[in-house]
Structure 1
Amino acid sequence: MAVSLMDTDLEGQEEIDVDANLCCPHPLSAVLSCVCCPVWCCSTQMFDQNERAAVLVWGKYVGSINQPGIHIVNPCGVSTRKITTARKTLDIREVNVTDKEGNPVYISGNVAYKIVSAKKATVDTAQPEKYASEMAPMALRTVAARCHYNDLRGESTSQMLAEELQKLVTSAGVQVLRFQLTDLKYDKQIASAMLARQQAVAQVDAKRTLVHGAAETASSTVMRLKQLGHSFNGENEQRLIHDLLLKNLDPDYKSQAVVYAQQR
């Protein structure tokens, strides 16, 4: 559902080129077409549902054809460059990037996009599909450099990637609909080292939790015994806490003390 909403929002921002004057785009074209009237017999052009075209008159861009159907185009000095606005996908495989901590990471992704501007795609850019495929890895590297490895798996990453790529390909008439990661992994040379590091951190955290729990248990036990009327001298209280800590940290530990408390 989130992807559909994002696609809808992006499509709502679609850019439309200026409509071209097809019958009289230039005075010279108008004069020549009037002198040679038979040329109008080959002036009709048909455009499908997902097609648009940039219109050039004597080599200069004058507007675009944005609606499907049959159009009458002045044949004198006028040429059209078609594009398709149908959705396309682009696979990006194992791009070597560096995350925020400087760790080398391999990322793969998939981009859904479409071309929306005939002028930008055919006049301002030579090959918009190739341009998008070259800009996508740059967007991956930029976003990866801002995030930690684990953060790259978050839901916000796709939105960040789509926005970053959109900044790069807007000039080519490309609209990014979706940019999702399909694979994320450490470089093989450091994968084992990172795994060992993660395991060591997990062990330290587990031991810290165990020590904190043992300390809380020993403290609450002594306080409860005092509330029940037991009294301790300094040495016995320390020995009791010592044995309780060791008992919680090592289940096989056996206390050597005989008596710790005296009733009032």
Structure 2
Amino acid sequence: MIKEKNAWSMNGFLGIILIAALLAGTVFSFIEQQFIIGGICLIVAVTLGSGITLIQPNQSAVVIFLGKYMGSIRKEGIVITVPFSVRRMISLRVRNFNSNRLKVNDVNGNPIEIAAVIVFKVVDAAKAVFDVDKYEQFVEIQSETAIRAVATKYPYDTFKDVELTLRGNAEEVSSELTAELQDRLKVAGVEVIEARLTHLAYSTEIAQAMLQRQQASAIIAARQQIVEGAVGMVQDAITQLEKSGGIELDDERRVSMANNLLVSIVSDHGTQPVINTGSLYQ
């Protein structure tokens, strides 16, 4: 694998002054009919001029001479580098990549639609140029592959709170997606800064059915919590009545009171009390 190194370069302004001096010497030599000296000055001036390179901030120039990697230049401004070389400019700026909406199956086999935004930058220009072919396309393909890999590990949603879900644990899923992407893209000299989901939904063919399932699961979970709370309230009420109220209840009365209290607490609608005022024969 290629490892980035610094290419030879010199200050561009100093190089331009030197080129100007060589051109002036060429003209003067031709006037004095010293053609050999003038020719040498012209050749040196042209040679240095072929290495003039303009590098913008947060940009790297990968220098290639006769098919060989000579190094990279990150110093911004005008520089003169290896003459007659090819310079490929690679941006080191932070960039965003928005993936397409992908249709994948979650861990339960439910088809979902998912998309993410990837924030990345090139940190090794040599790897981006030589170790992969068209690193922008490489980032795009590997990002979609990583999104699919992470999406298939988790369910879309659950009401049991015992496992990670794509909808309920966005931070954890984003962290794993970032790590997965970094592992895939380090070969291209790319650093993944952040990866976050931008779209998450059930596929249209099952969206209505899954909505009904979510509603049913929510109702069951709520009912279970209400019943658990109601049982505790009834137990506390009967215990307090027997301890502090001076009331002794047999098993039949205890069961009847528990039944009435449970109905009153668990019912969706307000209960209508029935008052027993006693009978004529009591």
In the superposition, the TM-score normalised over structure 1's length comes to 0.76
Cα distance between partner residues in 2 of 1:21 and 1:236: 97
Q: Show the counterpart of 2:271.
A: 252
- Aligned residues of 1:54 and 1:63 also touching (Cα < 8 A): yes
Runs of 4+ in 1 over 6 A off after TM superposition: 256-259
- Post-superposition offset of 1:256: 8.0
Structure 2: distance between partners of 1:118 and 1:247: 72
Task: State the Cα distance separating 1:58 from its structure 2 match.
Answer: 1.6
Q: Does 1:237 align with 2:254?
A: yes
Query: What amino acid is the match of 2:92?
Result: T
Q: 2:194 maps to what in 1?
A: 178
Give 1:140 deviation, angstroms.
Answer: 0.7
Counterpart in the other structure of 1:73? 81
In 2, the alpha carbon distance for the partners of 1:99 and 1:34 equals: 70
Task: Give the 5 Å matches for 1:17-166.
Answer: 17-21=4-8, 36-42=43-49, 43-76=51-84, 78-150=85-157, 151-153=165-167, 154-166=170-182
In 1, distance between residues paired with 2:211 and 2:145? 28
CA gap 1:246/1:81 in 2 versus in 1, 3 angstroms = closer
Structure having the higher Rg: 2
Asked if the contact 2:103–2:113 (Cα under 8 Å) also holds between the matched residues in 1, the reply is yes
Give the whole-Å Cα distance in 1 for the aligned partners of 2:138 and 2:101: 19
* Amino acid paired to 1:18: K
CA–CA separation in structure 2 for the residues paired with 1:258 and 1:215:
28
Match of 2:233 in 1: 217
Change in CA separation of 1:119 and 1:234 when aligned onto 2, cut-off 3 Å = closer
Equivalent position of 1:167 in the other structure: 183
Report the alpha carbon displacement of residue 99 of structure 1 after superposing the two structures with TM.
2.3
Give the CA deviation at 1:94: 1.0
- Comparing 139-148 with 246-255, greater Cα deviation is found at 246-255
User: Matches of 2:48 and 2:71 in 1, distance apart?
Assistant: 23
Q: Percent identity?
A: 30
Q: Deviations over 1:128-179 (max 9, x none)?
A: 1111111111111122222332433422332222221122122222222222
One-letter code of the match for 1:106?
E
2:63–2:82: 8 Å Cα contact kept in structure 1? no
Structure 2 portions without partners, runs of 5+: 11-39, 158-164
Deviation at 1:41, TM superposition (A): 4.2
What is the one-letter code of the residue matched to 2:201? K
CA distance in 1, matches of 2:149, 2:91: 29
* Contact 1:243–1:255 under 8 Å retained in 2: no
**SS of the residue 2:212 aligns to:** helix
Match for residue 206 of structure 1 among 205, 222, 245 = 222
Report the number of matched residues: 234
- Cα–Cα, structure 1 residues 35 and 60, in superposed 2: closer, same or farther, change >3 Å? farther
